[in-house]
Structure 1
Amino acid sequence: MYMVLSSKCWRALENWRDKMSTDNNGKKLPKGIRMRGKELYEARFTYKGETYVLYNTNLKLLQNELAAKRYEVEHGFYAKESNVTVDSWFHTWMEEYKRNNVKYGTYKVYLDEYKTHIQETLGRRQLKDVRGEHIQKLFNDMAKRYSHTTVNLVRVILSGMYTQAVRNGMVLRNPVENTSIKKKKRKRKIRVMTQEEQKLFMRYSKTSQFYDLYIVALGTGMRSGELRALQWSDIDFDNKIIHVNGTLKYVAKAREKYMIDEPKSETSKRDIPMLENLVSVLREHRKHQLATRMLLGNKWRPESGFENLVFTGSFGRCISETALYEDMKKIRAQIREDGHVFGEHTPHSLRHTFATRGFERGIPPKVMQEILGHKSITMTLDIYSHVLPDKKAEEINKLAAMF
């Protein structure tokens, strides 16, 4: 049997329920709040025919949330939250807001990170139902297995999704704002080869398959990814210029593992003048590479789209960052075995070493900024501040002749 009640009757019924609402200990609950189960409180109110319901296990917090919600609704600040899922909104956000505004490599990384770290835990939840504690637990669990960089990237993705959702009126607040991640340890001091170490490195690396790459790295200050992405069309032998147009990126979960991505920043796309010795090294490298390709025949098998790389691994394949690191590790070990002192230098040390040698020889910071492709001169001065005090002392001593 069904009975239709008038709105007046419904209000009377609600008032009666409010009067009768008590907690599990028999204590009367505030108006508009009742128990739902053993531990969950429900708050409910109606405004202009629309019913609003909130839940919380903490009565005081629920009272505060109820007061805030009433104020928002009655003063026109409330936008009705969407029932869309996290998964659905992520893909909409990526296609409509990110695809044309970030580098393709970044777009692919976002897709991979979401699928790997977010989708299973939060993907099926409604966007409006995800709270700060849900996201905090995700970060805490990730921190046990992954680096700070990975956890922070997931935080950036979730924060970006929710920031846009708030702007669109799909949710009221960004729950990521109520979370935190462990602070990253301070970066290690940059490693620069001394002039003696640089000479040792070049002598011991002569038998390495990456010897020519090391020469170009120390003569240009190019990043590892830029060197590994360099194509013969980027080398202008006539004008002695290297055009830096991209960086080699490895995407683990993609069908095509390697891709040439946009440069790190707008200023990273640049032209670098070549010293005469680099012109000679690259000409000889080109001849040797062509001879090797002819010798190997169909065994020379570069990845699709990477047929004209300047520097390759065995059989014309792309060089991974790990391969360079391991090669330098072997060279370092050999140098030490022979009784020489040699620091913990990595491929990135070559870039720092180039810049340091340049400052030591008086190259102006503004020129060095453009060669290195830094976004601002402040960045250049900050990174290489360890060199500048000596240069300042040297320059100011030139004034001695005036006295």
Structure 2
Amino acid sequence: MARVFQKCKEEPRSPYYPCEQTRCGHPWTVRYREPGGRVGRQREKTFEKKGQADAFTAKVEREKDLGTYIAPTGLLHPLVAVYREFIASGDRVNGTRYQYETSLRLHVEPYFGSVPIGSVRPKDLQAWLKWMVEDRGYMESTAINRYETLAGVFSFAVANEYITKNPCQHVRTSRRRAKRRAKKRIQLPTLEEIEAIERNLPGPYKLLVWLMAGCGLRIGEASAVTLQQFDFEAGMLYVDRQVTQDGENEKPKTARQKAITKGRGRAHCVRHLKWRDMDEGRAVPLPASIAAKVKEHVRVYGTFRVEEGPNRLRGDYVFSNVGRTNILMYSLVDRLWRGARKAAGITRKITPHWLRHFFASAGLSKGVPVSDMAEWLGHRDPRITLETYAHIMPDAPERLRNLMDAVFTREAELTLPLEFDALVPAA
């Protein structure tokens, strides 16, 4: 049975012993044993007020009776160590694991150091968020992203009985407002600028421009395109892979190799799309003009065959490095892109991602439904597409009003089926 007492009255080792005052204001101690009777480990917890000590005593005894008691081992395990366990657990893609490791190294370890996970309080988390924004200079949305990862670490700690409560439950963050404040200005290239960059790229890499501007591919997706992904008859391009820099490095053997791969220098790899199942991709309409450019590219430059292996997926790749000995890597694309932009005399810092914005903006401005464009861009939620490109559709409400007025006044003919099947979420 747990006991509540004041050390100042009973224990000579207390700095306040002997205390003769009835209401002395000194701390109250709860001394109890973990389940197991006399063999159970004895623990103590100190409170400022007797009411708090009594409440804790009742809680411990109730949990022991119900068999739900969890030993508070959080004071024995540093937050950083539990974070590393969290990273190693689960089936995560290398890119996600790398992001978690980077956040641990740059944001968590420098601030919390060797602090036990069981001693972290909500006020500590709020101070950490403030530190990332004010001292480290991160955007609020970036700090919240790091916080949400750390909240997952605390949930992992609760599930594995390091702690009994997640302190993140008492820290409120306004993610939507932070994202709205951090939203960047979307910039678009003109068609003339796109054509100028394409003209100044080496021949084997000109097609990259049209796959991004004409099909909305990300640079990693365009770099990983294979001949097998094209269905010229149906006019579709199936996107299911990308080039990334989160591959597994071979285990370093020398001191130099260890220095190169420590926290950076991840291997380039071709893998399935991030956040998608192994057999999941997206089909994007392939304009006839782009299809013709693909066929001409393959006729002139051929393809680069890659077999299944570490960091690689099988296929006949449309692009490769200059020597045609490996896949196309980011460093080469960046160097060629900057050179072409400079040679074209373009002073704006146009990036390859601007071409994806051009694709989305062109389609939405001409009336392509947001839901279709979200599917072709690879956005899981059409709201992402709508929030990003809303500036392209300022006249959408007026177009709808004009359409409905034309329907109701019979100026426009409307033919709809009397019934149809629809996919609805499962209850």
What TM-score does the superposition give when structure 2 sets the normalisation length? 0.66
The answer as to whether partners of 2:237 and 2:285 remain within 8 angstroms in 1 is yes
1:245-291 per-residue CA deviation (whole Å, 9 max, x = no partner) reads: 12332247366522334424449821123122212211222344349
- Equivalent residue for 1:305? 312
1:157-189 per-residue CA deviation (whole Å, 9 max, x = no partner) reads: 321121122234321222345668895642123
Which whole-Å CA distance do the structure 2 matches of 1:318 and 1:29 have between them? 79
The answer as to whether partners of 2:245 and 2:268 remain within 8 angstroms in 1 is yes
- Equivalent residue for 2:419? none
Which whole-Å CA distance do the structure 2 matches of 1:326 and 1:153 have between them? 33
User: Cα RMSD between the aligned structures?
Assistant: 4.5
Counterpart of 2:100 (choices 73, 89, 110) is 110
- Equivalent residue for 2:186? 190
1:268-326 per-residue CA deviation (whole Å, 9 max, x = no partner) reads: 821123122212211222344349x8xxxxxxxxx973785433454355332894498
- Equivalent residue for 2:152? 160
| % identical equivalent positions | 19
Paired residue secondary structure (2:60): helix
Counterpart residue type for residue 195 of structure 2: M
Counterpart residue type for residue 385 of structure 1: A
Distance 1:54 1:249, change over 3 A: farther
- Equivalent residue for 1:350? 355
The aligned runs of 1:3-402 (5 Å cut-off) are 16-17=9-10, 33=26, 43-47=28-32, 51-54=42-45, 66=53, 69-76=56-63, 79-82=70-73, 83-96=76-89, 98-99=90-91, 102-115=92-105, 117-119=107-109, 122=112, 124-132=114-122, 139=129, 142-143=132-133, 144-145=135-136, 147-148=138-139, 151-177=143-169, 183=178, 185-193=181-189, 197-209=190-202, 210-251=205-246, 253=263, 256-266=266-276, 269-290=281-302, 305=312, 308-316=316-324, 317-320=327-330, 323-324=333-334, 327=337, 331=341, 334-335=344-345, 345-394=350-399, 396-397=401-402, 402=410
Paired residue secondary structure (2:44): strand
Paired residue secondary structure (1:75): helix
Distance 1:69 1:224, change over 3 A: farther
Which whole-Å CA distance do the structure 1 matches of 2:71 and 2:211 have between them? 59
Paired residue secondary structure (1:247): strand
Which whole-Å CA distance do the structure 2 matches of 1:75 and 1:203 have between them? 75
Distance 1:346 1:113, change over 3 A: same
Which whole-Å CA distance do the structure 2 matches of 1:356 and 1:216 have between them? 15
Q: Which deviates more, 314-323 or 368-377? A: 314-323
Q: CA deviation at 1:75?
A: 3.5
Which whole-Å CA distance do the structure 2 matches of 1:46 and 1:288 have between them? 82
Distance 1:146 1:361, change over 3 A: same
What TM-score does the superposition give when structure 1 sets the normalisation length? 0.70
Q: CA deviation at 1:229?
A: 2.8
Q: Which deviates more, 208-217 or 324-333? A: 324-333
Paired residue secondary structure (1:315): coil
Q: Give the structure with the larger helix fraction.
A: 1
Distance 1:314 1:169, change over 3 A: same
Paired residue secondary structure (2:31): strand
Q: Which deviates more, 393-402 or 210-219? A: 393-402
Which whole-Å CA distance do the structure 1 matches of 2:107 and 2:300 have between them? 45
Which whole-Å CA distance do the structure 1 matches of 2:338 and 2:51 have between them? 60
The answer as to whether partners of 2:4 and 2:29 remain within 8 angstroms in 1 is no
